[in-house]
């Protein structure tokens, strides 16, 4: 079942051990924040990072941003404590790293009753099991971990991300088959603004809802690429108006600008308007 429309154009990873970053995140124009207890935190700092995130969330002030906690792998020395803490935090979702089976997602869901689960797909096994993972209880989003996946594939980094396209497509198909969200992976080269913009446009063209980010400087470009612009909104309104007028007149065929308009085009136009309204809110 399709989820309600919610902007996820830009979802920024925030290191849980960096209290200054947790504070700054309250003012950033990102649609979502992932408070990271895994890769961004050294082993000896993980308990303190967990406590810092809990305190920041309890203090509030993050507005309508979607708030997600990336925990350490459940089987790691910190995983059980992370999940127990997550169950008590005011979060919108919990992000599991390196998920490779539906059983892993279901086991975490059992420890987080009613809490949406996001699953990172960052290994070949995870990609091949994406359909089953997406169908697991409480799973609400699949998140690409393109950096780790590229390493495991032994793929060369290219501007067109050609080596990653099969995996991106499979994960996107799995998410859409279940009506859940799909987020593209990060772009690590902060000096490569043009490459980042191109990756965002590619992700949007493929069908992803948004992109995960590693720096606030990437937010604006992601928001622009994954959000409907004024022309898209105007065209969506035209399609809906023409379709409704034709139906009211008893016409079976609707044509706008020489192109046939069907139910599927109207449904997409309504989704675009709903997304635009959610962004404005």
Q: What is the pLDDT of residues 95-135, one digit of tens each?
A: 999 999 999 999 999 999 999 999 999 999 999 999 999 99
Task: Say if residues 145 and 125 touch (Cβ distance below 8 Å).
Answer: no
Which CATH code fits 10-226?
3.20.20.60
pLDDT of residue 247: 87
The contacts of residue 101 (CB under 8 Å, 6+ apart) are 125, 129, 132, 133
Q: At what angle do helices 165-178 and 146-153 cross, to 10 degrees?
A: 130
3-state secondary structure of 234: helix
**For 207-254, what is each residue's pLDDT tens digit?**
999 999 999 999 999 999 999 999 999 999 999 999 999 889 888 788
Q: What is the signed CA dihedral for 151, 155, 159, 165, rounded to 10 degrees?
A: -100
Query: Rounded to an integer, what distance in angstroms lies between the CA atom of residue 101 and that of residue 124?
Result: 11
pLDDT of residue 4: 57
- Residue whose C-alpha is closest to residue 186's, from 169, 208, 153: 208
Model confidence at 150: pLDDT above 70: yes
- DSSP-derived letter for residue 29 is -
pLDDT-derived band at 200 (thresholds 50, 70, 90) equals very high
Write out the H or E segment, with its range, that includes residue 260: strand 259-261
Query: How do residues 7-35 score in pLDDT, each as one tens digit?
Result: 999 999 999 999 999 999 999 999 999 99
What distance in Å separates the CA atoms of residue 210 and residue 60, rounded to the nearest whole number? 24
Q: What is the three-class DSSP state of 227? A: coil
């Amino acid at each position: 079942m399709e989820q309600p429309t919610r902007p996820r154009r830009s979802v920024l990873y925030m290191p849980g051990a960096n209290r200054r970053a947790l504070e700054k995140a309250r003012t950033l124009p990102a649609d979502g924040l992932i408070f990271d207890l895994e890769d961004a935190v050294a082993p000896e700092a993980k308990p303190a990072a967990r406590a810092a995130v809990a305190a920041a969330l309890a203090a509030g002030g993050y507005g309508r941003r979607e708030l997600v906690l990336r925990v350490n792998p459940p089987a790691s020395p910190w995983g059980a404590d992370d999940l127990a803490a997550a169950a008590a935090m005011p979060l919108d979702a919990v992000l599991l790293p390196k998920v490779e089976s539906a059983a892993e997602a279901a086991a975490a869901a059992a420890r987080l009753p009613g809490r949406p689960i996001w699953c990172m797909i960052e290994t070949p096994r995870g990609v091949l099991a994406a359909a089953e993972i997406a169908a697991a209880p409480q799973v609400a989003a699949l998140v690409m971990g393109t950096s780790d996946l590229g390493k495991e594939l032994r793929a060369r980094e290219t501007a067109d991300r050609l080596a990653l396209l099969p995996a991106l497509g499979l994960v996107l198909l799995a998410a859409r088959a279940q009506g859940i969200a799909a987020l593209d992976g990060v772009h690590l080269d902060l000096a490569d603004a043009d490459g980042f913009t191109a990756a965002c446009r590619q992700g949007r063209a493929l069908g992803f809802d948004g992109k995960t980010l590693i720096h606030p400087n990437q937010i604006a470009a992601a928001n622009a690429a994954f959000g409907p612009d004024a022309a898209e909104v105007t065209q969506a309104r035209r399609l809906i108006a023409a379709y409704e007028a034709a139906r009211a007149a008893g016409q079976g065929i609707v044509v706008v600008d020489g192109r046939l308009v069907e139910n599927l085009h109207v449904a997409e136009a309504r989704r675009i308007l709903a997304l635009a309204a959610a962004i404005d809110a």
